[in-house]
């Protein structure tokens, strides 16, 4: 399977913040941002492997600066690393004040997707070739994040044994 460059999976999407997108603090609603994150990240993985994919985890979403109604929001995502069937996607979210032109890193996120075959089983994906300093740094630190992700998933499975799906009033 031929490796692919990070840039081949790059997605850039810019949108405005409208009144129905904000919370009671008059900043972008976090759930809206997370939905948009998943959308752009899913396009990146499809560009990388050209297969059906599912979100396996949202490893982190770090909110760094508030996004206001006067801002445009730019999402930039790309595949940083690939395991056998999984792909890590980095998303940076930049807020741009549309009147002043000032840009701030508003949030960063890491998500993991798994490629599936026609029977909904994991299928191998191409390796990733980083080029820029940012891409190389994310690529070289990805195996450690994958190890932590795997450990966290196992802990979640262990905890799930003790969780109930019954209503508390039953």
pLDDT tens, position by position, 83-140:
999 999 999 999 999 999 999 999 999 999 999 999 999 999 999 999 999 999 999 9
Task: Look at strands 11-16 and 128-129 and give their pairing.
Answer: unpaired
Alpha helices in 3-74 (DSSP H): 30-49
> Which residues does residue 114 pair with via DSSP β-bridges, in sequence order?
54, 86
In this prediction, residue 170 carries a pLDDT of: 66
Q: What whole-number distance in Å separates Cα of residue 57 and Cα of residue 166?
A: 25
Task: Look at strands 86-97 and 4-5 and give their pairing.
Answer: unpaired
More confident of the two residues 166 and 83: 83
Mean pLDDT of 137-165: 92
For 167, the token pair is: 């209503």
Q: Are 44 and 110 in contact (CB under 8 A)?
A: no
Question: Does the 4-160 domain belong in CATH 3.10.129.10?
Answer: yes
Q: Which residues contact 165 (CB under 8 A, 6 or more apart)?
A: none
Q: What whole-number distance in Å separates Cα of residue 105 and Cα of residue 107?
A: 6
More confident of the two residues 149 and 165: 149
In this prediction, residue 64 carries a pLDDT of: 96
The mean of the pLDDT values for the chain is 95
Q: E strand or H helix at 91, and its extent?
A: strand 86-97
Mean pLDDT of 17-27: 94
Lowest pLDDT segment from 63-72, 78-87, 159-168: 159-168
pTM, two decimals, is: 0.91
Q: Which residues contact 132 (CB under 8 A, 6 or more apart)?
A: 6
In this prediction, residue 38 carries a pLDDT of: 96
Lowest pLDDT segment from 68-77, 117-126, 160-169: 160-169
Q: Are 7 and 131 in contact (CB under 8 A)?
A: yes
In this prediction, residue 4 carries a pLDDT of: 98
């Amino acid at each position: 399977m031929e490796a692919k460059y990070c840039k081949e999976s790059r997605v850039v999407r810019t949108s405005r913040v409208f009144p129905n997108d904000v919370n009671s603090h008059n900043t972008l609603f976090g759930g809206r941002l997370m939905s948009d994150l998943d959308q752009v990240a899913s396009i990146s993985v499809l560009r990388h492997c050209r297969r059906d994919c599912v979100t396996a985890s949202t490893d982190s979403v770090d909110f760094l600066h508030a996004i206001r109604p006067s801002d445009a929001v730019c999402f930039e995502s790309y595949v940083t690393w690939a395991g056998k069937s999984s792909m890590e996607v980095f998303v940076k979210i930049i807020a741009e004040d549309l009147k002043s032109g000032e840009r701030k890193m508003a949030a960063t996120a890491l998500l993991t997707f798994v490629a599936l075959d026609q029977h909904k089983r994991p299928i191998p994906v191409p390796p990733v070739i980083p080029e820029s300093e940012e891409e190389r740094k994310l690529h070289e630190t990805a195996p450690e994040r994958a190890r932590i992700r795997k450990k966290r998933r196992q802990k979640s499975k262990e905890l799930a044994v003790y969780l109930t799906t019954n209503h508390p009033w039953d």
